[in-house]
Homo-oligomer: A and B are copies of this chain.
Amino acid sequence: MVRWQPGTSERLQAAALELFASNGYEQTTAAEIAQSVGLTERTFFRHFSDKREVLFRGQELLVEAFLGGMTTAPGDAAPMELVAGALESAADLFPAERRDHSRLRQSVIDQNPALQERERHKMSVLAATLGDALRARGVAEPAATLAAESATTVFGVAFTQWISPGETRPMVEIERAMLAELRDLTAVGPGNGPAAKA
CB of A146 within 8 Å of the partner chain:
yes
Q: How far is the CA of A143 from the CA of B178 in the complex (A)?
A: 9
1/0 contact trace for A134-177 toward B, CB 8 Å? 00000000110111011001101100010000000000000000
CB of A7 within 8 Å of the partner chain:
no
Partner of A186, one of B118, B145, B150: B150
Q: How far is the CA of A124 from the CA of B43 in the complex (A)?
A: 33
Residues of A within 8 A of B (CB): 74, 76-81, 83-84, 113, 116-118, 120-121, 123-124, 142-143, 145-147, 149-150, 153-154, 156-157, 161, 178-179, 181-183, 185-190, 192-196
Chain B residues closer than 8 Å to A145, beta-carbon distance: 157
Q: How far is the CA of A193 from the CA of B156 in the complex (A)?
A: 24
Chain B CB within 10 Å, residue with most, of A181, A188, A190: A190
**Nearest 5 CB-CB pairs, A to B?**
A80-B189, A120-B120, A117-B121, A149-B153, A186-B186
| B178→A183 contact, CB < 8 A | no
